[in-house]
């Protein structure tokens, strides 16, 4: 179907017991995370990757001193055979990439470390949307322009577009790849609408944009072209987010698999946050 996204292996990480009390969160008024429920939902996510998609799943050991460490997407950007270990944009998250870096080096990837290239650069992988044809980088909240420049230099074969992130944790809090050529976007509020409009304005390729009204969490889905099931889009529960059903119905040509990660969403975790993928 597409030369990218045909992965063999997913990398995830356990949830630190310190997450409910200490993970970063945008909204301090939402109810506390249940560690047990989050763990059980995360296990279902891993089961989908392993059993339904047939991927090998590597689970990195958790680290209690790093409450957000389950969100492995933020510590690395992997495109083709190159893995860029990022410097996360929040001080409590610095250090999360070390375990990932060791793992990827052991697996024989070409590993580059952002902090060694530019100590002032910062990027959370949640700000990086790779469509298979170009890269969008959200800047302004967790990621900065120096980080954007490191991404341009590390992946010179692709156009890299900077998008100003406002009123959202990450770029991919408000959009994601539903399948190659199709981007799911949130229209949650006027500032996010503006951010999504600027993404559409700078895109160098023609994408189809499917809008998710209501809750932005519905705009974060996870596309994998799996050997076992072919193209799959994993999406959050339609029971929990009923308004997005028509958006998911509109994708077409993929197997839709539901995965409820509502517990981690209380600390701004979405489906893409909890895994990264490689083909080895």
For residues 103 and 58, the answer to whether their CB atoms sit within 8 Å is yes
For residues 61 and 14, the answer to whether their CB atoms sit within 8 Å is yes
Question: 146-185: which residues touch ligand GLY (CB under 6 A)?
Answer: 169
158: CB partners within 8 A, 6+ apart: 79, 130, 133, 134, 135
H or E stretch including 149? helix 145-154
The CA distance from 217 to 12, in Å, is 20
Query: Which residue lies nearer to ligand GLY by CB, 225 or 268?
Result: 268
For residues 261 and 45, the answer to whether their CB atoms sit within 8 Å is yes
How many residues form the binding site for ligand GLY (CB under 6 A)? 10
- Of positions 24, 82, 98, 198, contacts ligand GLY by CB under 6 A: 24
Question: 57-96: which residues touch ligand GLY (CB under 6 A)?
Answer: 68, 71, 90, 93
129 near ligand GLY, judged by CB under 6 A: no
Q: Which residue is nearest to ligand GLY (CB)?
A: 24
Stretch of 20-28, 104-112, 195-203, 228-236 contacting ligand GLY, by CB under 6 A: 20-28
Whether 103 sits among the annotated catalytic residues: the reply is no
Report in angstroms how near the CB of residue 126 gets to ligand GLY at its nearest: 7
State in Å, rounded, how far the first CA of the chain is from the last one.
18
Whether 90 sits among the annotated catalytic residues: the reply is no
Residues in contact with ligand GLY by the rule CB under 6 A: 23-25, 68, 71, 90, 93, 169, 267-268
Q: Which residues are catalytic?
A: 170, 273
């Amino acid at each position: 179907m597409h030369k990218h996204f045909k992965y063999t292996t997913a990398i995830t990480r356990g949830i630190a017991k310190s997450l409910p009390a200490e993970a970063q969160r945008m909204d301090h008024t939402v109810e506390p995370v249940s560690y047990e429920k989050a763990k059980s939902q995360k296990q279902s996510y891993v089961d989908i990757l392993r059993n339904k998609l047939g991927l090998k799943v590597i689970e990195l050991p958790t680290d209690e001193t790093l409450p957000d460490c389950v969100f492995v997407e933020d510590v690395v950007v992997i495109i083709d055979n190159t893995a860029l270990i990022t410097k996360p944009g929040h001080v409590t998250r610095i250090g999360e990439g070390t375990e990932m870096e060791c793992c990827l080096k052991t697996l024989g990837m070409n590993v580059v470390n952002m902090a060694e290239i530019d100590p002032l650069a910062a990027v959370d992988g949640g700000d990086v949307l790779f469509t298979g044809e170009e890269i969008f980088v959200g800047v302004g909240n967790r990621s900065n322009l120096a980080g954007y420049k490191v991404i341009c230099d590390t992946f010179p074969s692709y156009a890299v577009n900077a998008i100003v992130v406002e009123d959202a944790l990450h770029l991919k809090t408000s959009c994601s790849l539903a399948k190659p050529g199709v981007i799911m976007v949130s229209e949650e509020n006027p500032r996010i609408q503006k951010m999504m409009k600027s993404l559409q304005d700078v895109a160098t390729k023609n994408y189809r944009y499917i809008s998710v009204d209501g809750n932005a969490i519905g705009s974060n889905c996870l596309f994998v072209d799996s050997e076992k099931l072919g193209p799959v889009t994993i999406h959050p529960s339609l029971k929990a987010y009923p308004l997005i059903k028509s958006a998911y119905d509109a994708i077409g040509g993929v197997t839709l698999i539901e995965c409820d990660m509502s517990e981690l969403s209380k600390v701004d975790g979405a489906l893409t946050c909890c895994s990264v993928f490689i083909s080895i």
